[in-house]
A and B are shown apart, each in its own frame.
Chain A
Amino acid sequence: MPRSIVLFGLLLACCLPAFAAPDGAKLYSRNCAGCHGEKGDGGIGIPLSLPSFHAQVDDDYLKQTVLRGRPGRVMPSFSYLSDAEVDAIVRHMRSWYKGKVPVYPFTPIKGDAKRGEQLFEKHCAGCHGPTGEGGHGTGVTFSRPRDFPIMPPALHNPGYLSSAKDAMIKATLVNGRVGTPMAAFGKRGVKDKDLNDIVAHLRNFEKKPLPSSAKLIETGEAIIVMESPYDLKTTIENVKKAVSSNNFVFIREQPLNAGLVAEGREDPKQHIVYFCNFSLLNQALATDPRVGLFLPCRITVVEQGGKVTMMAANPKRLSRIFNNSELNEMCDQVTKMYIAVMEEAAL
């Protein structure tokens, strides 16, 4: 065989991975399994492997959901993934299902939205909330008992409304979701016209202001900084006293580089004061266990160039990364508490 052909073959073999389709299983595992489970059996996110789910959602719904997420409802937007990567994830999810995948038209369903609102209150609001804002919690339980096997999804959410076609919403109402609390209203005698009216009411959400469940906190600064008029040692003592008078428990004080250098060689001019409000912590973890990432509460006191500064990561800004509107108020409150502690320490 001529050497040039062998070389060409080798070159082609080297380049093939670059042109190969993205690995859907790997992408799913990295981006989705944390919430939805490795085999799609759910957890923080809804179960994706249920046959009743696959039988009622089209590929476009899955794709748009991955790309747009659900603002304020934990599921983030994976808009940085390429089209090919999202398609590969969708293909991987479909590998759990052997039945027929539906295709829905874009055609809107006509109905009486006003009447649909009354029907929604009667049949849907119990789980999805009076204004379609969805159930509470993330679905992640941190091994605690949960009220619902699945947190009822928010229907008044721009991510959902822009991903679901009217025909898909109606099919879900007709057939329900076997394996979830979602009932099959079509099989419970709810008339076709009533179902159309409910769909019209859901579509009408688009004209209404966003519910608080779909809103994220306004972005604040990344850090809270305040200068202290006192020296380093006094400021640290003041912070410790101030945390106690602001309903926190002082946990410990340590140099920033403790554990990184040999004991006794730490930088004495950068100290972290750790503290906690255990009741608030318990409440925060019950709402969303992921917030532990920024625990325990801390204020760092730094002396540089003769100036003493108190600094903390801003919980109000950090709340945004969890995409959980239920954390908004709590994070805002903790930001205010941090500022109160710093102000008191600087008094």
Chain B
Amino acid sequence: MKLAHAFALTLALWFNSAIADELLMVRSSQNFEDAMTTLQATIAEHGYKVTRVQRVDVGLEAKGYKTDRYRIVFYGKPGEIEALAAKYPKLIPYLPLAVAIFAEEGNTILTTARPALLKQFYPEPELKPIFDRWEKDLVGIMDEVREAK
């Protein structure tokens, strides 16, 4: 009976587990403004271009909702996004890449979907090296923001 319960528990875990390799999340000890500056500078240092910053907090406040600072930073590599969109149009809903950045008390939290997630969605072998490079760059960007003082 005990074995049966253990087996059922293992099955529940197997089918219902979210593995941490789909979401990357870091906490920066910098305040929001400094972390935002670090993030944008680090994105540029890795050869990407920030295409837009969506001011979610501004939109919410304009509608009367109370909120702390919350932005979405969109970024990509000029040339690469267009080439991928042309060859793999189904990838478009996930382009350009994005990082959510928001204030949490005196700290700042950054979250982003790991490109490993895209590997699950788009298993084409020729996309793998691109997602791998994004993954490496993204982990580097997030590490640098996390370590910045």
Contacts and interface: CB of A to CB of B under 8 A. Distances in A.
B115 interface: no
A301 to B, nearest CB: 10
Contacts of B5: 206-207
Interface in B1-33: 2, 5-6, 8-10, 12-13, 16-23, 25-27, 29
Contacts of A282: 60, 65, 67
A131 interface: no
Interface stretch (A111-119, A193-201, A287-295): A287-295
A166 to B, nearest CB: 12
B51 A258 contact: yes
Contacts of A216: 16, 18
A143 B52 CA distance: 25
Contact of B56 (A207, A295, A318): A295
A108 B102 CA distance: 45
A34 B25 contact: yes
Contacts of A260: 49, 51, 76-79, 81-82, 96
Interface string B28-58: 0100000000000000000001111010100
A143 B25 contact: no
Contacts of B60: 278, 281-282, 285
Contacts of A72: 16
Nearest to B12: A158
A295 B89 CA distance: 20
Contacts of B132: none
Interface of A: 29-31, 33-35, 37-38, 43-44, 68-69, 71-72, 76-80, 108, 140-144, 158-159, 161-162, 206-207, 210, 214-216, 222-223, 225, 251, 256-261, 267, 270, 276, 278, 281-282, 285, 289-290, 292-296, 298, 300, 302, 304, 309, 311-313, 318, 320-323
9 contacts: A34-B111, A68-B17, A142-B70, A162-B6, A162-B13, A293-B72, A293-B111, A293-B113, A296-B56
Given A80-B20, A321-B23, 17 more contacts: A30-B146, A35-B25, A77-B13, A79-B19, A143-B68, A161-B9, A216-B16, A222-B121, A225-B90, A256-B92, A260-B96, A261-B82, A267-B85, A290-B111, A292-B72, A311-B90, A311-B92
